[in-house]
């Protein structure tokens, strides 16, 4: 699956509308972004069930400010609309794969409790179970990455 370009108008809809979303902020002048692009595209091809989105930091400066992005490349990971990873820097393919598997297998409810995600960002405790609860769909890799 190819990467999906995001703008300020499509960012929230994409992040909240999919089970797992990775967002890469990049700039055309950034040499590390150029090196990371093929690794990111390979991950998108290997994991078609995960949205691999990109944000052109030069064109979307307001979105960068809102997202508190101040370096390139910057990678964000969302699970069920909740930001669970946000960090600057180049990731080699193995580390990106480890991040993907972590996002796939993490317990999002435990994460929300541990990080005190505001109730308006998470479903109420007495709500019916989300249709998105449990492991993400797609190829399952058993065991914790790196073991």
Q: The domain containing residue 36 runs over which residues?
A: 4-115
Query: How is residue 9 written in tokens?
Result: 């108008």
- Nearest residue to 36 (alpha-carbon basis) of 88, 79, 85: 88
Signed CA dihedral, 35, 41, 46, 51: sign only = positive
When pLDDT is cut at 50, 70 and 90, the band that residue 136 belongs to is low
Beta strands 82-88 and 4-5 are unpaired
Residue 61 lies in a domain: yes
Residue 33 lies in a domain: yes
Residue 106 lies in a domain: yes
Residue 125 has pLDDT above 50, yes or no: no
Residue 36 lies in a domain: yes
Residue 125 lies in a domain: no
Residue 147 lies in a domain: no
Convert the pLDDT of each residue in 68-124 to its tens digit: 999 999 999 999 999 999 999 999 999 999 999 999 999 999 998 898 875 445 444
Residue 131 lies in a domain: no
Q: Are 77 and 18 in contact (CB under 8 A)?
A: no
Return all residues near 136 (Cβ < 8 A) that are at least 6 apart. 19, 20, 49, 50, 103, 104
- Cα–Cα distance, 44 to 96 (Å, whole number): 11
Q: How many structural domains comprise the chain?
A: 1
Q: What mean pLDDT value characterizes the chain?
A: 85
Write down the pLDDT at residue 116.
83
Report pTM: 0.78
Between these two residues, 61 and 133, which has the higher pLDDT value?
Answer: 61
Residue 123 lies in a domain: no
CATH number at residue 52: 3.40.30.10
């Amino acid at each position: 699956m190819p990467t999906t370009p995001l703008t300020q108008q499509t960012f929230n809809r994409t992040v909240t509308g999919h089970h797992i979303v990775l967002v890469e902020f990049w700039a055309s002048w950034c040499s590390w972004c150029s090196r990371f692009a093929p690794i990111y595209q390979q991950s998108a091809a290997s994991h078609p069930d995960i949205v691999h989105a990109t944000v052109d930091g030069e064109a979307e400066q307001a979105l960068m400010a809102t997202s508190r992005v101040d370096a390139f490349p910057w990678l964000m990971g969302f699970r069920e609309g909740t930001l669970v990873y946000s960090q600057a820097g180049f990731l080699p393919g193995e580390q990106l794969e480890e991040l993907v598997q972590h996002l796939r297998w993490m317990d999002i409810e435990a994460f929300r409790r541990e990080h005190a995600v505001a109730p308006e960002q998470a479903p109420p405790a007495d709500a019916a179970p989300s249709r998105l609860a449990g492991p993400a769909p797609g190829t399952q890799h058993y065991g914790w990455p790196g073991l």
